[in-house]
Amino acid sequence: MKGWQRWLVVALGVLLLGSIPPVLAALPATESDVTASELLASVRSSDEVAFTGYAETVGGLVLPVTQDFTDLVDLFGERSRLRAWWAGPDDWRVDELTATGETGVFHRSGASVLWNYEDSSATLAADPVVRLPRAADLLPSALGQRLLSEAGAEEVSRLPAERIAGRDALGLRLVPSDERTTIDRVDVWVDPSTGVPLKVEVYGADATVAAVRSRFLEFTPGAPDPEATWFVTPPGVDLSFTEVIDVAEAANQFAPAVTPDELAGLARRSGLVSIGSLGQYGRGVTLLTAAAVWDDLSRPLRDQLEGTPGAVIDENGVYVSAGPIGLLLTPGSRERSSWLIAGTVDAATLAAAAAEVRQIPVPDR
């Protein structure tokens, strides 16, 4: 064999190997003539479907908050790798894999064990009324079901099918009809046989990059090994119990003031908080949360928000947006608590909400 012939062989080999992934990716997905509303209905009834899977989520949001919110920042700003064993809404386990460790949520009957390998800690907590989003919420199945749960039939349309996790997934697009939302659209690809969302992309207004993207890379329907979702405390680790799992729950439990039933024209969401000091409002993907917070939580947060590029400071307080999420913190002092308002609504709605809550009397310390 001549020299150039050998190089030719090698070049062909490289081409062949290099073309495997694109060819696999370009395999056409089988379409189906299911209508958008039928698909929506199948997603809504899919929360009992058991499966095991592996998903990756990418957040494109840089949240201008740290300290008590670091998990949240990582969740929306970085790539997470999730393994899920899902026997049903009340029996599941989701592990977030990191390069050198793992944090897991083992969920059974209204309580969760939170496992953290690198801290070597296991914490048992009852499901709180409110809490911050966590990795398990970004699982495509959970995220898709949640975002589509309140969508109207007129808000959804079909998208071309895609191959996801080796399956033909049917596309569904949600364009929220509410003017006040900052969410431009939510694209969901659904496993036709189970109705489970396999891929979800959330876009803010005018955004070319998804604010949140989550998709399964492996997905197997069927009940997982029952052992897999059952936590047995390993030797050398003490299982601890906690009353309060994050600042959202803390704010809810210890807030100095009670929130109104309606805020900026958005109705309080029922079923989530009965008489909460933390109020959640809105419908579908037009959501607003408000809570009164004590100075020790609001002061560092205010410093940080005011230092964020693009922050708007006026008589209502400081306003910052990160992609489709807006944050507003009203003025406060050492004696007076302030209001933290956040949500997927535009600046005007947030400002209106701020003006309303500032009328609510809050106790002085």
Partner 1 sequence: MIRTELVKTLRRPRTWVTILLLNALPTLVAVLLALTDLGPRPGSGPAFLSAVLADGTLFPLAALAIILPLFLPVAVAVVAGDSVAGEAQQGTLRYLLVRPVSRTRLLVAKLVAVIAFVLLAVVVVAAVAYVVGSVLLGDQALAASVSGTVLTPAQVAVRTLLAIGYITLSMLGVAAIALLLSTMTDSPLAAALGALAFLIASSLLLTLDAAQTLQPYLPTRYWLAFVDLFRDPIFWRDIVRGIGLQAVYVVVFLGAAWANFTTKDITS
Determine the Cα–Cα distance for residues 214 and 145; give it in Å rounded to an integer.
13
Residue number with CB closer to partner 1 (19 or 32): 19
Smallest Cα–Cα separation from 291: which of 328, 346, 318?
Answer: 328
Binding residues for partner 1, how many (CB under 8 A)? 38
Structure tokens at 236: 């050398």
Q: Which residue has 């947006």 as its token pair?
A: 321
Q: What is the pattern of x (binds partner 1, CB under 8 A) and - over residues 66-105?
A: -----------------x-----------x-xxxxxx-x-
Determine the Cα–Cα distance for residues 346 and 116; give it in Å rounded to an integer.
37
Residue number with CB closer to partner 1 (127 or 218): 218
Candidate residues 2, 208, 271, 275; the one interacting with partner 1 per rule CB under 8 A: 2
Residue number with CB closer to partner 1 (129 or 237): 237
Query: Do residues 336 and 361 touch, judged by C-beta distance below 8 A?
Result: no
- Our CA dihedral for 130, 133, 136, 140, rounded to 10 degrees, sits at 120
Least distance between partner 1 and beta carbon 138 (Å)? 18
123 contacts partner 1 (rule: CB under 8 A): no
218 contacts partner 1 (rule: CB under 8 A): yes
Query: Do residues 246 and 278 touch, judged by C-beta distance below 8 A?
Result: no
Q: Of the ranges 12-20, 158-166, 267-275, 303-311, which one interacts with partner 1 (CB under 8 A)?
A: 12-20
Candidate residues 6, 193, 205, 242; the one interacting with partner 1 per rule CB under 8 A: 6
Q: For residue 293, which amino acid is it?
A: V
What's the gap between Cα 152 and its chain centre?
21
Least distance between partner 1 and beta carbon 92 (Å)? 14
10 contacts partner 1 (rule: CB under 8 A): yes
Tell me whether residue 209 is exposed, middle or buried, using C-beta atoms within 10 angstroms of its C-beta: 0 to 12, 13 to 18, 19 or more. Answer: exposed
Residue number with CB closer to partner 1 (10 or 258): 10
Candidate residues 110, 235, 309, 310; the one interacting with partner 1 per rule CB under 8 A: 235
Strands 197-204 and 338-343: unpaired
Residue number with CB closer to partner 1 (12 or 153): 12
Structure tokens at 197: 């969302």
Least distance between partner 1 and beta carbon 128 (Å)? 21
Least distance between partner 1 and beta carbon 325 (Å)? 20
Q: What is the pattern of x (binds partner 1, CB under 8 A) and - over residues 147-186?
A: ----------------------------------------
Q: What is the pattern of x (binds partner 1, CB under 8 A) and - over residues 198-217?
A: -------------------x
Determine the Cα–Cα distance for residues 270 and 329; give it in Å rounded to an integer.
24
Element (H, E) at 263: strand 262-263
Candidate residues 37, 116, 123, 308; the one interacting with partner 1 per rule CB under 8 A: 116
242 contacts partner 1 (rule: CB under 8 A): no
Least distance between partner 1 and beta carbon 45 (Å)? 29
The DSSP annotation for 276-304 comes to -SEEEEEETTEEEEEEEE-HHHHHHHHHH
Candidate residues 237, 257, 273, 347; the one interacting with partner 1 per rule CB under 8 A: 237
Structure tokens at 45: 């009834």
Query: Do residues 286 and 266 touch, judged by C-beta distance below 8 A?
Result: yes
Query: Do residues 127 and 242 touch, judged by C-beta distance below 8 A?
Result: no
Q: What are the helix and strand counts (H, E) for the chain?
A: 7, 20
Binding residues for partner 1, per CB under 8 A?
A: 2-3, 6-7, 9-10, 13-14, 17, 21, 54, 83, 95, 97-102, 104, 106, 115-120, 122, 217-218, 225, 228, 231-232, 234-237
